A and B are shown apart, each in its own frame.
Chain A
């Protein structure tokens, strides 16, 4: 199967378009609120916001089926919301409370949901890549037709274990989609300063893995590419690499002075390429929604996010006994 560019604009229903809009806006508002809570000292440690990259997870989740798996880095809030995890539980984990997905013991970077097949939340750059291939190994072994989305950054894409995983994934035809979220920076290092290879997805060719570059500010393009990758995996022709070009608007984490890029650069992308604005335009020009409809959606989402923030503030800290639980499973 040759790596074909996706068709210009796939047909999309009004319902689907509205769903992508809502899901992306949900992530953005959630992240803005998380930033606020961090500033108030309610969230501690590292907190990596996903603002700007929303179309990546929303597009790929649109290509996923029930039972498919996902795994990512510490920049994970968007992935969790997009796969249907409860905003209350995610926010309460950010504040380190009992009601959080990991009972407050994991924090922003380390959350999991077996129910939603979300395998974390990993703090060590690129560690999730072979683990994602391993999840796919288990699915292939069980012959259950499931696919794993393994997300990692442009910075992570230089780690050696990525290539060890590529080699085995192709050798054993594992049903894994390697998703490189190329937001152009790894902390303060632009991609130009960390590699001379012209693209990340093409590196898969050295191992015989197909792939393509995708416009990550266009949720429909992401979805189309995701469907193709998933189809290949389900047909036993995995793995597949998607290099999704995106951009993070905020600092690397909350404590990043961001001196490595200009405000103008960020502003320009926000104004010209914003993924949410793009869908908003499609909705309005396609007469799928009115300004008032969108205002109502915004209000609805704000309410959900405010409720999550309230829950995250009200939920008690974990009981002190929790310090010593969950270290070993009962044998």
Chain B
């Protein structure tokens, strides 16, 4: 029977890819394990192996085609004595899972309003902007800082020869050499401690955790050694170090690989905690982090790595800590978020605008220090607030913001603050449950309508 060869999913987050090169042609016989094609994902070029044996009857997607969706038929494999036409209509098996939408209560239809995007205050007028992925922005920040001073170096698992497990350090080994881009064994507790020692010794380490889930092995050094030493030494000895890596849920990687640590680290005096959303902020904040004389927790997100944003083309673009960014100006409700939570906040603001609700969207960017002033100023105007994050609900960042607003803006609040968070459960693997466990744009919209009594 003729079978279709489908565009494979080659990583947890892959939805489409480029069919870079065919290594077989029509009429070739292939055995299981033969390489059929090279496929480019946003992370890497991968070889695609044959599973079944047979003859390549027809190539359906030409090499060089970009944006080929996973599960599209790319070729037809036939058995002896068959022709490619034996396959009637190519109907690839859809692996799509049913989407689960939290129902949004029907509201009285209001007139849509325009979305107000404020001017970029920090960027000089006329600055050239370049569309850059978060991945590239992070790499550029490290490269620029490593060029600036030899004290900066990068270490972590697979950061050098493999070019980074998520390809963040692509090209750094080549430019800076093995002295400054260092592969470590899988020994988080050990290399975090070595990083802290190197910082005490006058260097500026960037320690990459393959993901922050693995930093739990190292958390003793992050908190007991890095965060507390300046204080314990009466101000003599600080720890200028950046701990960075992807944080939070990726896609379908289960409970042990999907945790958001924003609230955990934000609790610790002595640490500064950064969680960028856009590529420009990822770059500007990482440069600031590397220059800061304190231990910095820099929380990235795997899903954001491949997303593009405009980045200003300036020689030395930095973003200060403790300064929130307003992405949308609005008057009815304040949405406060950070990191990937911003995706839900911005989508919700657009949806709310359609329903005539004007949402102000604040990206905290740094969680410690936190720009509570910006939140309070906004709430004075809107009198309502919804916070959005992916982490667990108990003792969340949103809980903290709610407490701050209650203490410092009590008289301005017209509704209790709602915290949209991940659910109070370990992350499930099943696709349908994982969707439910994360916060959603629909939940944010619903919360905004609740606090605005619509």
Contact = CB atoms under 8 A, between A and B. Distances in A.
Interface in B102-145: none
A260 B426 CA distance: 34
Contact of B70 (A41, A110, A124): A41
Given A110-B429, A189-B157, A322-B433, A156 B213 contact: no
Interface stretch (B38-46, B318-326, B352-360, B383-391): B38-46
Contacts of B12: 44-46, 255
Task: Identify whether the interface residues of A are mostly helix, strand, loop, or mixed.
Answer: loop
A191 to B, nearest CB: 10
Interface residues of A, number: 54
Contact of A41 (B45, B71, B423): B71
B433 A44 contact: no
Nearest to A266: B33
B46 A36 contact: no
B380 interface: no
Interface residues of B, number: 57
B31 interface: no
B95 A123 contact: no
A29 B255 CA distance: 28
Interface stretch (A99-107, A199-207, A216-224, A226-234): A99-107
A45 B185 contact: no
Nearest to A186: B186
Contact of B431 (A44, A123, A254): A44
B215 to A, nearest CB: 11
B425 A323 contact: yes
Contacts of B255: 105-106, 110
B51 interface: yes
A109 B369 CA distance: 37
A125 B186 contact: yes
Nearest to B10: A255
B9 A317 contact: no
Contact of A254 (B11, B165, B185, B437): B11
B343 interface: no
Interface string B190-225: 100000000000000000000001101100000000
A187 interface: yes
A322 B111 CA distance: 40
Nearest to A38: B9
Could you say which of A156, A158, A189 has the most chain B C-beta atoms within 10 Å of its C-beta? A189
Contacts of B253: 45-46, 107, 109
Contacts, number: 171
Interface in B422-436: 423-426, 428-433, 436
Given A110-B429, A257-B46, A40 B251 contact: no
Nearest to B94: A41
Contact of B10 (A97, A103, A254): A254
Interface in B57-103: 70-71, 93, 95, 97, 100
A123 B183 CA distance: 21
Contact of B254 (A123, A158, A255): A123
A320 B429 contact: no
Contact of B43 (A96, A107, A125, A255): A255
Nearest to A190: B161
B186 A124 contact: no
B256 A110 contact: yes
A159 B9 contact: no
Nearest to B11: A255
B95 A160 contact: no
Contacts of B30: none
Top 3 nearest A-B pairs (CB, nearest first) are: A107-B429, A44-B252, A39-B8
14 contacts: A38-B8, A41-B70, A44-B252, A46-B12, A96-B429, A103-B430, A106-B429, A189-B162, A194-B186, A255-B11, A255-B44, A259-B44, A320-B100, A322-B430
Interface of B: 6, 8-12, 14, 32, 35, 41, 43-47, 51, 70-71, 93, 95, 97, 100, 157-158, 161-162, 165, 183, 185-187, 189-190, 213-214, 216-217, 250-257, 423-426, 428-433, 436-437
Given A158-B185, A254-B11, 10 more contacts: A41-B70, A45-B250, A105-B433, A108-B429, A123-B213, A189-B158, A189-B185, A255-B46, A257-B46, A322-B430
